[in-house]
Structure 1
Amino acid sequence: MTSLTHKLTPIVIAMLVTGCAVGPDYQPPEVDLATTYIHSNNQRSADSQQHAESNYWWHQFNDETLNKMIADVQQQNIPLTVAAERISMANSYHSIVESFKVPTVNIGASYFNYQLSKNDSMLGSALNPIGDSVGGLPPQLGAMTLSDNQHDGGFVGASIAWEADIFGRLDRQANAAKIRVEQAEIFQNGLTTLITSDLIHNYLQYRGAQERIDLALANVEDQRKTLDLVKKVVSSGYGSELDLAQAQTLLAATESMIPQLETAQQVHKHRLAVLLSEPLSQVDIRLAQHQPLPLMNDVIPTGLPSDLLTRRPDIRIAEREMAAINEEVGAAIANRYPKFFLTGVPGVTAGSFDDLFSSDSIGWAGAAGVSWNVFDGGRGEAMVELHESRFQIAAMHYQHAVDSAFAEVDSALFNYGRAQENHSRIVHANEASDTAVSKAKSLYRAGLIDHLSVLDAQRQQKMMQDRQIAARLQSAQATVLVYKALGGDWQI
């Protein structure tokens, strides 16, 4: 055994030094993208790096309540906490795979006591007394035995085993596990984007419903005063029943909007509570102060389409999936090559505890081995082909993710531009409706038109006021969708 070990050791060391890792080297994919977005223009785009050096983009809403809620949701949200645990799990798995690259050492100790059978067909003769009739012993020596049948003693030692990763199989598996950690981190960042955008969406919807309720209540108050005035005019014989019916209809229509808006407001408040992982009473405290619907009026840093490859979580995860599977292809190829092992069992053994740690009690065993599965019915080759097919599928998913991201950004930019245009037109229409109401009231007081015309002008005015709030909300939501599509940095 010693001579065999001495012969194998130089061979193993030479292979360890030279190495011969097998499998394909990973090359990041190259994708052809346009130089600009179709619906991007200088008025709505800016350099993304310059913007990244400023405050977080949602600070431009100038809403401290929103800023505090975003900071808290990124710390308290349960799915984000689960995502953090998944990173911990991925790190643990990576450590497990890495551990196979180093020797495994087990330390043990034992006490043994055994008795051999004197009737054993092989050893029994050595355990029974023998005399002059057996073995030619002189009579004066009397009866004697060659060996005791009872033995005891102790052992303290270690067992060491190590696989020499000549062809890089363990290295490939460890690299794949490390990439899975990166994917878990990217997933957490992407989930942070989704959770943050969901919170902003619900906060904006809540504030929008709140502002629309305030407007509706103010309209109800005005319309009740108008109705009282119409009743007096009709009772004096100067008005018509049609004027009265129109005033009553307008009031009832406005009052009917309030329950719907209150329901929407409550739904979004409950959603905020779920996102924040807080009781509804705590969210009520956060939202106790009435604030107007925040509106961002700033440049959106669209950057270049190529920035999506490093900013979008879905694209980054798809690219890392290709890298991980590439390593698994290499591991499957290396698994078809021989595996080399070194083992050793040093220790001390003695029949007495006092002698256990003396130099004469030392013993050891060592071995160098090789294992090569030369025939498996094509299983190893099929495993390589399976992982290669997975890689091709991952490459197609990557291309699809890039195409979808580019289309999503362009669509979001188009929606943002139209939302801004719609808001601008609504503002002008609202100003015109204010002028129309003012002139209608003047003409009515002069007796040149009936009150029906005044009511119609007021109805148009209230409708435009409500639509202006909706347009502001749409513009703010379009801003959120653009930043979400661009995959910007949402992490506090």
Structure 2
Amino acid sequence: MKLLKLSSVVVALALSGCATGPDYQLPDQTLDTEYLYQQTAGTSQQAIPASTSTWWYQFNDTMLNQLVADAQQQNIPLKIAAERIKAAQAYQNVVESFKVPTVSLGAGYSSFGLSENDPLLGPVVSSNNPLGTALVDSSQGAFHAGATIAWEMDLFGRIDKQAQAAAIRKEQTDIFREGLTTMITSDVIHNYLQMRGAQTRRAIATEMVSDQEETLALIQKMLKSGYGSELDLARAKAMLAATKSVIPQLQTAENVHQQRLAILLGETPAAMKVRLSQGLPLPASQPMPELNGIIPTGLPSDLLQRRPDIRIAEREMAAVNAELGAAIANQYPKFYLTGAPGVLAKDFDDLFSSDSTTWIANIGVSWNLFDGGRNDALIEIQEARFKSSALSYQHTVNNAIGEVETLLNGYGNSQQYQTLLLESKAETDKAVKKAKSLYAAGLTDYLVVLDAQRQQHIIADRVIAAKLQTANVAVGLNKALGGDWELH
């Protein structure tokens, strides 16, 4: 018997060397040393500091900062993600528990009867035997208490690999929540800026309506005096109606983004309206928020550690690799140790005496030698999953770098577009000032002044739209660069 035990251990140790599964290694990834559009204005190649977790503070808007802080605490999908983290942690604990022995306690009373017709024990309990009397009572009963212990010796690392996979899945849920926080935060910033932009543009449109109503009144007056024309009157009315038609659209846009903010913060529309009305300054009293500062981009290789989607893809490879190791280890024997120490006595008073001790101990092995190729097929499935996850990882990296490059180029072009419009606005401001001077000197009529003001309002609206575009691209660029945006 000792020789059998020794042989089992020797075989187990010999097999364990080839059952650990493949070592996990990241696939080779060729990356550029810098971004193609690295020289984009408003950006820097310097390393991204940890303080960028609150980069939106550069908008210098206290309402925006508060909305982001509340969204990260109140957003319902983020709360769901937090519960998923708890579930993943619990699942990891379940898998880890298989590494240690399972111990259960039990106690009770058992009663049983022996049949006199039993071919083995019947003569013992029956009086129909050569002795003429029963040797053992046919009815028996006993009190018992004890423990049951079971443990699988994980010689080939199957349980350990499963535990590794569960731990990695837990890491993925953490990373997912981090990425979701980034997405929710960027949505809050985007919708807040769009709402503020709609408010500012509506104020400009309202001012344009006032000027155009003044123009229409002047044309009508001139027409009555015989100096105007029906064509000028029709044009003035058409222009006024077109400008008025923009205002309801801007009101709708403002409301849409306000409702979206309510959803992001997990609040009712009425509560969000109250919140904004109490703390939001009017566009006329404070300009629309603009980003002030340089966006650090770091190196393309930094994305591998900063982007949640890349990190999740990398962890997926690691998890599948561990599951592959578990599938390989499943080919080899499983060794079990079981035991049941306890006490057993007919009378309860004797149950805990030294003479009532009882125990059972077992060592066993289970080895599936033939399954029709089922386990080999399962290994092939895991190998295919690993190759697929490796390709997905490479695709995710390429997509991330392409996204940053696209947004870097877009950020530069948006700033250029905004600069040109600001130059145009400066010229229209000069034109309005000049027209007013000529009118004051009696060298032109007031229609010239009103037309110059109309052009001024149109350019002002385009400037706001350009600033919104630049700000939204900046939000997208910061999001594409990754990082932890959670407020701690």
1:299 maps to which residue? 294
> How do 1:63-142 residues align onto structure 2 when only pairs under 5 Å count?
63-129=61-127, 135=130
1:350 Cα offset (Å): 0.8
1:230 maps to which residue? 219
- 1-structure distance, mates of 2:106, 2:10: 28
Q: Which amino acid aligns with 2:21?
A: G
- 1-structure distance, mates of 2:281, 2:2: 83
Q: Does residue 282 of the first structure (1) align with residue 271 of the second (2)?
A: yes
1:49 Cα offset (Å): 4.2
Instruction: Tell me if the contact between 1:246 and 1:452 (Cα under 8 Å) persists in the aligned partners.
Output: no
> How do 1:11-90 residues align onto structure 2 when only pairs under 5 Å count?
12=9, 20=17, 21-41=19-39, 43-46=41-44, 49=47, 51-53=49-51, 56-90=54-88
1:24 Cα offset (Å): 0.5
- 2-structure distance, mates of 1:43, 1:248: 43
Q: Which amino acid aligns with 1:88?
A: K
- 2-structure distance, mates of 1:228, 1:84: 62
- Pick from 178, 181, 192: which aligns with 1:192? 181
1:293 Cα offset (Å): 1.7
Are residues 236 and 442 of structure 1, via their aligned partners in 2, closer, same or farther at CA, if it must alter by over 3 Å?
Answer: farther
> How do 1:422-461 residues align onto structure 2 when only pairs under 5 Å count?
422-443=417-438, 453-461=448-456
1:52 Cα offset (Å): 2.5
Instruction: Tell me if the contact between 1:5 and 1:368 (Cα under 8 Å) persists in the aligned partners.
Output: no
- 2-structure distance, mates of 1:250, 1:357: 102
- Pick from 336, 351, 356: which aligns with 1:356? 351
RMSD of aligned Cα (Å): 2.3
2:364 maps to which residue? 369
More off after superposition, 37-46 vs 370-379: 37-46
TM-score between the two structures when normalised by the length of structure 1: 0.92
Q: Which amino acid aligns with 1:185?
A: D
Instruction: Tell me if the contact between 2:168 and 2:319 (Cα under 8 Å) persists in the aligned partners.
Output: yes
Aligned residue for 2:226, secondary structure, equals coil
1:19 Cα offset (Å): 5.7
Are residues 466 and 285 of structure 1, via their aligned partners in 2, closer, same or farther at CA, if it must alter by over 3 Å?
Answer: same
Aligned residue for 2:375, secondary structure, equals helix
Are residues 95 and 102 of structure 1, via their aligned partners in 2, closer, same or farther at CA, if it must alter by over 3 Å?
Answer: same
Q: Does residue 485 of the first structure (1) align with residue 476 of the second (2)?
A: no
1:251 maps to which residue? 240
- CA deviation vs aligned residue, 1:161-200 (integer Å, no higher than 9, x gap): 1110001111101001000011111111111111111111
- Pick from 266, 269, 275: which aligns with 2:258? 269
Q: Which amino acid aligns with 1:165?
A: D
- 1-structure distance, mates of 2:50, 2:144: 65
- 1-structure distance, mates of 2:52, 2:23: 39
1:8 maps to which residue? 5
- 2-structure distance, mates of 1:159, 1:484: 55
The percent of aligned pairs where both chains have the same amino acid is 54
- Structure 2's unaligned 5+ residue stretches are none
- Pick from 323, 327, 333: which aligns with 1:328? 323
- 1-structure distance, mates of 2:483, 2:325: 34
More off after superposition, 348-357 vs 39-48: 39-48
- Pick from 202, 206, 213: which aligns with 1:213? 202
More off after superposition, 453-462 vs 255-264: 453-462
- 2-structure distance, mates of 1:87, 1:151: 53
Aligned residue for 2:137, secondary structure, equals coil
Are residues 264 and 463 of structure 1, via their aligned partners in 2, closer, same or farther at CA, if it must alter by over 3 Å?
Answer: same
1:145 maps to which residue? 134
- 1-structure distance, mates of 2:405, 2:350: 83
Equivalences, count: 480
- 2-structure distance, mates of 1:436, 1:412: 35
- 1-structure distance, mates of 2:159, 2:120: 47
- 1-structure distance, mates of 2:121, 2:55: 87
- 2-structure distance, mates of 1:44, 1:35: 20
- CA deviation vs aligned residue, 1:291-319 (integer Å, no higher than 9, x gap): 53210021001110000100111111111
Q: Which amino acid aligns with 1:324?
A: A
Q: Which amino acid aligns with 2:255?
A: Q
Are residues 221 and 42 of structure 1, via their aligned partners in 2, closer, same or farther at CA, if it must alter by over 3 Å?
Answer: closer
1:256 Cα offset (Å): 1.1
- 2-structure distance, mates of 1:412, 1:51: 20
1:439 Cα offset (Å): 2.8
Instruction: Tell me if the contact between 2:211 and 2:450 (Cα under 8 Å) persists in the aligned partners.
Output: no
- Pick from 388, 391, 410: which aligns with 2:386? 391
1:228 Cα offset (Å): 2.6
Instruction: Tell me if the contact between 2:165 and 2:322 (Cα under 8 Å) persists in the aligned partners.
Output: yes
Q: Which amino acid aligns with 1:24?
A: P
- Pick from 167, 191, 198: which aligns with 1:202? 191
Instruction: Tell me if the contact between 1:5 and 1:366 (Cα under 8 Å) persists in the aligned partners.
Output: no
Are residues 380 and 18 of structure 1, via their aligned partners in 2, closer, same or farther at CA, if it must alter by over 3 Å?
Answer: closer
- 2-structure distance, mates of 1:271, 1:236: 53
1:311 maps to which residue? 306
1:419 maps to which residue? 414
Q: Which amino acid aligns with 1:189?
A: E
1:100 Cα offset (Å): 0.7
1:71 Cα offset (Å): 0.6
- CA deviation vs aligned residue, 1:406-443 (integer Å, no higher than 9, x gap): 11000001111011001100101011112223333444
1:140 maps to which residue? none
- 1-structure distance, mates of 2:209, 2:380: 72
- CA deviation vs aligned residue, 1:328-387 (integer Å, no higher than 9, x gap): 111111100111111111111111111111111111111111111111111111111110
